[in-house]
Amino acid sequence: MKVIEHIGQMQETSRALRREGKEIGFVPTMGALHEGHLSLIRRCKEENDTTVVSIFVNPTQFGPTEDYERYPRDLEGDSEKLRSLGVDILFFPSVEEMYPEGYSTYVEVEGLSNHLCGLFRPSHFRGVATVVTKLFNIVMPHRAYFGLKDYQQALIIKRMVRDLNMDVQIITCPTVREVDGLAMSSRNQYLSESERRSATVIYRTLLRAKEALERGEDFGTVKTLMVETLSSEPHVKEIQYASVYDPESLEDLSQRQREDYSGSEVLLAIAVIIGPARLIDNMLVRLRD
Ligand code: PAF
């Protein structure tokens, strides 16, 4: 595996690969790799000639009181995993090179960024859209892979690519779960043993909400059920959101008639604070006609 730390060298390498007619697949990450990332990388390897993975803990997507400093970093362990999967290139730039002094350009996807996580992390998606744009300009991939645990992120990136005519295909992959249903996340490492047990309430809530939708309950009732289920777990310190949403606009549907969505998909989504960790999860559910 080739490790590239400099932007210019990554661009030269990608240009050369493209000249040779190679298709470049790209998995952007912030490291602390888990099975969720590895599933994206496996898919990327299947569908491309060259697989590039980036590891960059992006400061612009963290708020001033968030976990940028303590976000888990494990370059050695990550490199080992990437090597064993046969990744071709690890791109590992420094903050100074990505955001040199005087840096002042940001990408903002309006509308979609103001729902769900955007309400609690006001500049988060601006940071994500900016760094993903920069990484696309540096790696020049044909395809890029994102996990659906970060459903809103994937939707925003697809919108950005469409709106800015970026020449890259965005591929979304299913959420990978622990055996007890907890969605894999680098932030699960923050949980104590008892908080980790409590965190299973998130997936349980999604399953109960799905069953309620399948029984024909209205959206408002499903939202109440979600909030009650999450609140029953003492380690849940805060419920930031838990409801039924439109999967395209991310509008909260709890005041809307479910008949308007017969035969369509809706999104169940949750963000909670458990101990020191902010955890999110979601599930798409198709309503019967
Ligand atoms: O999902 C992530 O890990 C990050 O938001 C991403 C896409 C790598 C941008 O920093």
Q: What is the tens place of the pLDDT at every residue in 52-67?
A: 999 999 999 999 999 9
pLDDT digits (tens, 9 = 90+) for 270-285: 999 999 999 999 999 9
Asked whether 107 lines ligand 1 (CB < 6 A), one says no
Report the catalytic residues: 37
Q: Which CATH superfamily is domain 2-173 in?
A: HUPs (3.40.50.620)
Ligand 1 lined by 150 (C-beta under 6 Å) = yes
CATH superfamily of domain region 186-286: Pantoate-beta-alanine ligase, C-terminal domain (3.30.1300.10)
Where are the domain boundaries for CATH 3.40.50.620 in the chain?
2-173
Look at residue 289 and tell me whether its pLDDT is greater than 90.
no
| Pocket lining: 29 vs ligand 1, CB cutoff 6 Å | yes
Place of tokens 């090179």: 97
Q: Whose CA is nearest to atom 1 of ligand 1?
A: 29
The predicted model gives 256-263 an average pLDDT of: 96
C-beta separation of 79 from 175 below 8 A: no
pLDDT at 250 exceeding the cut of 90: yes
Could you tell me the pTM of the whole model? 0.98
- Ligand 1 touching residue 98 (CB < 6 A): no
What is the C-alpha to C-alpha distance for residues 104 and 183, in angstroms, rounded to an integer?
Answer: 35
Alpha helices in 58-199 (DSSP H): 75-85, 95-98, 117-120, 124-139, 151-163, 193-198
Rg of the chain, C-alpha, whole Å: 20
H or E element, residue 13: helix 7-19
Determine the distance separating the centroid of ligand 1 and the alpha carbon of 186, expressed in angstroms: 11
* Per-residue pLDDT tens digits for 110-141: 999 999 999 999 999 999 999 999 999 999 99
Which of 30, 168, 184 to mutate for ligand 1's pocket (most ligand atoms within 8 Å of CB)? 30
Residue ranges matching CATH 3.30.1300.10 in the chain: 186-286
Q: How high is the pLDDT of residue 186?
A: 96
Chain mean pLDDT for the chain = 98
